[in-house]
Structure 1
Amino acid sequence: MQIIDLQPDMEEAIAQTATLLIEGFRQHWKTAWTDLDSALTEVRESFGEDRISRIAVDQSGKVLGWIGGIEQYDGKVWELHPLVVDAAHQGQGIGRSLVTDLAERARERGGLTLWVGTDDEDDMTTLAGVNLYPNVLDHIARIQNLKGHPYEFYQKCGFVIMGVVPDANGLGKPDILMAKSLVRGGSRSRS
Structure 2
Amino acid sequence: MKTAIAKGLFNSHPYLEYRKLVSDLLLENKSTGSEQSDDLTNYSTLNETRMNRLDKTMKISEENSVKLKSLEREYIWLVISEGWCGDAAQLLPIVNKMAIESGKIELSIVLRDENDALMNLFLTNNSKSIPIVIIVDKQTGELMGHWGPRPKGAITLIQDYKKEFGVVDETAKTNLQLWYLHDKGISTQNELLELMQEIDS
The structure in which a higher percent of residues are helix is 2
**What TM-score bracket applies, with the shorter chain setting the length?**
0.3 to 0.5
What TM-score, normalized to structure 2? 0.33
Higher relative contact order structure (alpha carbons within 8 Å, sequence separation ≥ 6): 2
The structure in which a higher percent of residues are strand is 1
What TM-score, normalized to structure 1? 0.34
